[in-house]
Each structure stands twice: as C-alpha cells, then as structure tokens.
Chains A and B, each alone.
Chain A
C-alpha cells in the first residue's frame, strides 16, 4: 500500500541535461515537499506546496524548479544538473491539522550526474 511513490528509484543523467523526478501520493494531503539529502546530511528542504501555493526556500538554486499540476502529483525539474546536484531526492506529504502533522516520505530517487 505505497502512499507516496517516487519514480524512478535511481536516475542517471548527464551533466547539464535536464532531468525530471516525479512524485505521486494517494493520501490526498494538501502539502507536498521536495527535500535534497546528501550523504550523512539532513534532508534539506528545497520547496513545498500548500495546495497550489508554491513556497521556495531562499537558498534553493534557480536550477531547481517544481510543478504541482494537481493534488496527487508533484515534479522536480533540474534544468542543468551539475555534479554537486548528485543526491537523494525525497518527496513527502503532510496534512496540516493540529492533531496530525507527520510527514510521509517516498522511497526517494537517487540521482547520479555523470
């Protein structure tokens, strides 16, 4: 019963070649997040959506874009991947209610840039 699904699990892309990572959810949660996680580091929030409202973190590079065409789907676009963008990308969802704000994560997409 996968609830947050990320595709693909592993992605290899060439330096400078645009790449898109996808995330879908069956939880009908109104918040979706994209995190970047490098080895032994904290998941770093790139941006999040509250419904259709897009919230970009101040230090997220312009190279990273996102789309959320509907409640269920969210995409992370990396326009020109550099070697430093190799990381695990985690999608998560949550429903903002006072009694239940946990984040549900997908399995992640490990991005390799060659």
Chain B
C-alpha cells in the first residue's frame, strides 16, 4: 500500500544551525509533495509545495528538494530560530486524484 513516512519523530538542534527533515514515500509516485507546520492544538499550515518535475524550491529560509530516484523529499530550515520549533508534516497527492495524505511528522525543537 502507499506509504509516506517521516523517520525522525523528533529533532533537536542549536539555534542558527540548519535543520534538515526527511520524508520518504513507497509504493507510489506522487505528483507533488507538500510541507506543513503544525503547532500544538492547531491545524497544519501550508509552507511549500514541490512537484515531481522540480528538484528544489525555496521560500525565505526554507528549502525543499524532491528526489524521485531516492523517493525522498528533504526540508531545510536555515538559520534556525526558537520560533521555528513545531511539528513539520510532509504530505503528498496526485494530480489525477483529489486526496492528500500525511506523514506522521517530525517534532523540531530549536534550543537557544
């Protein structure tokens, strides 16, 4: 069955360093991958989308890559700040179908 997985439950890094989160998918080929931020007790908020024909996308301090050979997306936050502490969710969808499915998320903590 189709699976989207985020292998790290939690990641703890020093302020100012680059945080790198990983998302892997198996048994299907998503048309796009998305990354969301979720704060405790709140709904996820969309950050970035990358399509299967794109290798990299950037938005301010965020960068996302999509490697269809490795079946993997990496999400980077450069110059991390304590305010970046949250759970980050990877999600995927197809262009031919309307549903979006989520990975279990990585809880990122940035220590001052």
B21 contacts the other chain (CB 8 A): no
Q: How far is the CA of A55 from the CA of B89 in the complex (A)?
A: 23
B41 contacts the other chain (CB 8 A): yes
A68 contacts the other chain (CB 8 A): no
Instruction: Give the A interface residue count (CB, 8 A).
Output: 28
B78-112: which residues lie under 8 A (CB-CB) from chain A?
89, 91, 93, 95, 98-105, 107
User: Secondary structure at chain B's binding surface: helix, strand, loop or mixed?
Assistant: strand
User: Secondary structure at chain A's binding surface: helix, strand, loop or mixed?
Assistant: strand
Q: How large is the interface on B (under 10, 10 to 19, 20 to 34, 35 or more residues)?
A: 20 to 34
Complex contacts, B43 vs chain A, CB 8 Å = 4, 90, 92, 105-108
Which residue of B is nearest A59, CB measured?
B1
Contact B93 A101 (CB under 8 A): yes
Interface of A toward B, CB cutoff 8 Å: 4, 31, 33, 35, 40-45, 48, 50, 55, 88, 90, 92, 94, 96, 98, 101-108, 110
Interface of B toward A, CB cutoff 8 Å: 9, 32, 34, 36, 41-46, 49, 89, 91, 93, 95, 98-105, 107
Q: List 21 A-B contacts (CB under 8 A).
A: A35-B102, A40-B9, A41-B104, A42-B104, A45-B101, A45-B102, A48-B98, A55-B98, A94-B98, A94-B100, A101-B32, A101-B34, A101-B49, A101-B100, A102-B46, A103-B46, A103-B91, A104-B46, A105-B43, A107-B42, A108-B42
